[in-house]
Amino acid sequence: MGEVDAELIRIQGMSDRQVGEFLKKNGISLKVEEARRIVHLIGRDPTLTELHIFNIQWSEHSSYKSSEEWLKLLPTKGKEVILGPSEDAGIVRFTKHEGETYGIVMSHESHNHPSQVVPYEGAATGIGGNVRDVLCMGARVIASADPLRFGNPDGKHANRVKYIASQVIEGIAGYGNPLGVPVIAGDIYFNDSFDENCLVNVVTLGILKEKDIVHSKAPPDSEGYDIVIVGKATDNSGFGGAAFASLILDEEDRESNRGAVQVPDPFLKNVLIRATESVFEEVRKKKIPVGFKDMGAGGIMCSTSELVASAGFGAEIDLDKVHVSMHDLPPFIVACSETQERFTWICPTAFTDALLKIYNEDFDLLNISQGARASVIGKVTKSPTYLLSHQGKTVCNADVQAITAGIKYQREFKPPKQRYTEPDLGEPKDYEKAVLDVLAHPNVASKAACYKHYDTQVQGLTVIQPGDADAGVQAPLPGCSAGIALSVDCNPKVSRIDAYWGAANAVAESMRNVAAVGAVPLCLTDCLNYGNPEKPEAFYQFVQGVKGLSEAATQLHFKGTQEPVPFISGNVSFYNESATGKAVDASAIVACLGRIDDLSKVITMKIKKAGSALFMAGERKDTLGGSVYYDLHGQTGANIPKSDFVSERNMIYAVTDAIDKRLLLSCHDISDGGVIVALAEMILGGEADGEIGAQVSFDEKSPLWKALFSESGGFVLEVEEKNAKEVQRIFSGHGISLIKLGTTGGPQLVINDRISLPIGKLKEAWTSGFRRAMA
């Protein structure tokens, strides 16, 4: 392998113990045998810079070393998939408009570890990174969604849990709002499995013309092209972020871990986005071949090496040309720090001056943000080596393919010993109190106090805002009738009991949610959040989760074909585990993107008029395992909802058909809290200002409380009486018999002769629970 001038770390001359000590002292989380593998791979002892590079590239976060072989199980292809999971974000075909084909770019990431340690910055930079992933495909970033999981707000870590929850929400608002990316969906769950490891996932959407995609790789024949980095001046922040994301969090290391979290700058990002859009315009107009990539995990090193490696080239980079805001940084920090708000361009030298002018002069980076600019730092080389020089010395000289290939592990897995049992709870003594308690549970209660802190409407494209329906809806191309819907889902307690069904149900629920507004599921993304993959029981949950996702996406296929709904992007986050070995609930968080051809047909969940019929699709089953009702009784339970895929997909087809014919007035999916919550939320509406109640009856052949609180999937539909027959016909055409629940009207929610709750009481319970949890 190539020669270097920098000092070599004599791995070959050290004992295993000495190697271990050296790695630990230098904050390198590689295992001893991995360090020895590097020697073998590059044919000599490595430099310290090279060790740091492999440390990042071989981290779980960057290499998917445990997960990749299993991720192959997921369906990722489809006739509408423009780009599957291979670059920074996936792209699905959306619609044709004025002779152009448009795609939606979608990315799904986690920023769990940083958010646990420094919640405001962690959550903010999580959005920042995900937005860059979408932007760098050449897209206009149009929406985001935030699935959040926090600890028990009444548990033994209550104070820290509330602090983290409120700071994460502040961070999302503090970053996403100034950027001008509206939040259109999200969910929040609290339970004690997240006490020491919160989950902060982000989904971001963008839109582009299919012909305008910019790839995250060097263009063909790009030997000699310039490598240009733009954005914030490099400092030491976020150094080791990728490796940090692949560690178990130890409370005692909290202080030292803070340095691994990046520092967000939404103002600079706002300007960078607009400047970058100007560059896109310019390269399209002049047909300039370029490569463009976000700088995230692994910083300059990862971004530049992957850009050239994926096109079969190499790179020669002078780290002294990197614009920095701290002096005397060692080369591995300049190369690998994860300073936020940066990108890498590869462009022909003839275009370089124009590129620099857009950032440095037109958008005046030099004057509006201290130290920010665009700088040429190197060149694309024909030889496939990755050369880094620093102060006249070569500090890295290795085969670029070796750097980017990563490593793979086959992890062992075995089912956990833990067995769950079903409790024997009798009928509630006071039905009305039971209903109000469920409505006030923080996992059910209105999250308005959270999402009203977010800008849900900037860009003027929002059709349905968070809270008003099961999915957020946008008109991404004003003037075009097609719209998109987005939902994110995964019930953590169900997944705790059974990781397979937790994941499969998450796919089903996310599809139900986009169907409930009238959109047809188009594609999925996933973020797989689990504990330590080196533990066979934790890894078993991951394997089960992937299998559940795969099975559900295959079974809940597109209408009229057998084609699975594809996963177009995703992310894996392991080591969500405390130092005492407590892992988070298995969380295969799924996002579903739906399309509606005529967005004027969308409906919300709020009851529209008195005197309409209420129907239910999806019979109630004895499946209270993981339910809110059990949670309120301190129980977990065992009988979880298991999606019956055939009826699940038929319900989805029937609901979207009925909405397409404008036959439903409102629609709500049945999930957390059960059908009683679906009914109460339809009465209240997202703003909790509804004034139309309902009279409903359930057959009491089986216990009423189980029917009300079971969380088996389904829908509640509001239908005008005159359309009832037609709606029933559509459902029976798909093999689904609708259950008539009752009619809308009156000032209360009345159920059999057991429950008669005035709307005001429903409102009080539903609007207080989340605020109380956060207080």
Partner 1 sequence: MKPTIAVIWFPGMNCENEAKRACVAAGMDSEIARWNNAKLEKFDGYLLPGGWSFEDRVRAGVIASKDPLFDSLKEEAKAGKPVLGICNGCQVLAETGLVPGIKPEAQMALAPNANPFVSGYYCTWVKIKHVGKKNAYNAFFKHGEILDIPIAHGEGRFISAEKGLMEQLEKNGQIVFKYCDANGAVIHDFPVNPNGAAANIAAVANPKGNVLAIMPHPERAFFKFQHKEKQMANYGDAMTLMPAARIFESMREYLKK
Picking from 560, 575, 517, 526, the residue whose alpha carbon sits closest to that of residue 546 is: 526
The one among 170, 210, 282, 720 contacting partner 1 by CB under 8 A: 170
Residue listed under structure tokens 């932007």: 135
Does residue 461 contact residue 474 with C-beta atoms inside 8 Å?
A: yes
| Residue list 495-554, contact with partner 1 (CB under 8 A) | none
Torsion sign, CA atoms 704, 710, 714, 718:
positive
Closer to partner 1 at the Cβ: 552 or 665? 665
Q: Look up residue 32 and give its two tokens.
A: 């001893």
CA dihedral 535, 536, 539, 544 (to 10 degrees): -160
The one among 548, 685, 693, 769 contacting partner 1 by CB under 8 A: 685
- Helix (H) or strand (E) holding 565, with range, is none
For the CB of residue 481, give the shortest distance to partner 1 in the complex, in Å.
4
Query: Of 331-339, 386-394, 477-485, 670-678, which part binds partner 1 (CB under 8 A)?
Result: 477-485
Secondary structure (DSSP) of 694-748: EEE----SS-HHHHHH----EEEEEE-GGGHHHHHHHHHHTT---EEEEEE-SSE
How many chain residues bind partner 1 (CB under 8 A)?
43
Q: Percent helix, strand and coil across the chain, each rounded to 5?
A: 40, 25, 40
Query: Of 104-112, 296-304, 373-381, 449-457, which part binds partner 1 (CB under 8 A)?
Result: 449-457
| Residue list 353-382, contact with partner 1 (CB under 8 A) | 362-364, 368
The one among 41, 449, 632, 739 contacting partner 1 by CB under 8 A: 449
Report which residue type is found at 429: K
Beta strands in 151-217 (DSSP E): 183-190, 199-209
Does residue 749 contact residue 762 with C-beta atoms inside 8 Å?
A: yes
| Residue list 230-289, contact with partner 1 (CB under 8 A) | 266-267, 270-271, 274
For the CB of residue 121, give the shortest distance to partner 1 in the complex, in Å.
16
Can you tell me the distance from the alpha carbon of 349 to that of 77, in angstroms, rounded to the nearest whole number?
37
Please tell me whether residue 475 binds partner 1 under the rule CB under 8 A. yes
Query: Of 204-212, 251-259, 447-455, 626-634, which part binds partner 1 (CB under 8 A)?
Result: 447-455
Report which residue type is found at 97: H
Catalytic residue check, 113: no
Closer to partner 1 at the Cβ: 527 or 727? 727
Distance of CA 77 to the CA centre of its chain: 20
Can you tell me the distance from the alpha carbon of 114 to that of 126, in angstroms, rounded to the nearest whole number?
9
The one among 465, 513, 612, 635 contacting partner 1 by CB under 8 A: 465
| Residue list 175-214, contact with partner 1 (CB under 8 A) | 177-180
Please tell me whether residue 148 binds partner 1 under the rule CB under 8 A. no
| Residue list 44-103, contact with partner 1 (CB under 8 A) | none
Catalytic residue check, 327: no
Please tell me whether residue 478 binds partner 1 under the rule CB under 8 A. yes
Please tell me whether residue 445 binds partner 1 under the rule CB under 8 A. no
For the CB of residue 470, give the shortest distance to partner 1 in the complex, in Å.
15
Can you tell me the distance from the alpha carbon of 705 to that of 435, in angstroms, rounded to the nearest whole number?
10
| Residue list 8-37, contact with partner 1 (CB under 8 A) | none
Please tell me whether residue 631 binds partner 1 under the rule CB under 8 A. no
For 360, which DSSP code? I
Residue listed under structure tokens 């609708």: 738
Please tell me whether residue 458 binds partner 1 under the rule CB under 8 A. yes
Does residue 673 contact residue 439 with C-beta atoms inside 8 Å?
A: yes
Closer to partner 1 at the Cβ: 179 or 583? 179
Closer to partner 1 at the Cβ: 752 or 768? 768
Closer to partner 1 at the Cβ: 546 or 603? 603
Selected catalytic residue, list 52, 108, 111, 734: 111
Q: Look up residue 401 and give its two tokens.
A: 């393919």
Q: Look up residue 89 and give its two tokens.
A: 């974000």
Picking from 610, 607, 613, 605, the residue whose alpha carbon sits closest to that of residue 725 is: 613
| Residue list 584-623, contact with partner 1 (CB under 8 A) | 598-601, 604, 606, 608
For the CB of residue 528, give the shortest distance to partner 1 in the complex, in Å.
31
Does residue 151 contact residue 162 with C-beta atoms inside 8 Å?
A: no
Positions marked active-site = 61, 111
Residues that bind partner 1 (CB under 8 A): 170, 173, 177-180, 266-267, 270-271, 274, 362-364, 368, 449, 452-463, 465, 468, 475, 478-479, 481, 598-601, 604, 606, 608, 685, 687
